[in-house]
Amino acid sequence: ALTRFNIDIDDAHTLSVDDLLQLLFSFVVEPAIGQQQPCFIHGFPASQAALAKLNRTDPRTADRFEVYFRGAELANGFYELSDVDEQRQRFVRDNQLRARMNYPQLPVDEHLLSALAQGLPDCAGVALGIDRLLMLQIGATHIEQVLNFPVSRA
């Protein structure tokens, strides 16, 4: 599918299904969606929502969404996972996958797990990219055009 969309990368056969989905989404879907009005994408694969609850009716997906407008991601939101045991299992599985791919393993976030163990009420959150809204408003082509202190000038 990558060659069909002129995506040429070395060793594409070594990519995971999630990597392939992300590549196609980034290079094919994102630039085309929400051109006339904002577009909500939901029902993300469970493997692409590390901190979100799984959907009750379809556990292959997570209760996560993103909002796009004119090809730009403006917001990301999800229903917070509050089960400490499930979150720990996800951290462990992620590190197992990283080890199989010869990536360094990441430390398990014990602070988050400790907080979850104290109890987290049902909640959801949305991160809205004000910088991205500003980009659309002024017609900027790169995010550094709207940041006061971009990484390149740090």
- Integer Cα distance of 1 and 7 in angstroms: 9
| pLDDT tens, position by position, 63-73 | 999 999 998 89
Looking at residue 12, what is its pLDDT?
67
Is the pLDDT assigned to residue 89 strictly greater than 70? yes
What is the model's pLDDT at position 1? 64
Q: Which residue has the higher pLDDT, 42 or 22?
A: 42
> Average pLDDT, stretch 34-54?
93
Pairwise CA distance, residues 51 & 121, whole Å = 14
Is residue 11 over pLDDT 90?
Answer: no
In terms of phi and psi (left: phi > 0; alpha: psi -120 to 50; beta: otherwise), the region of 102 is left
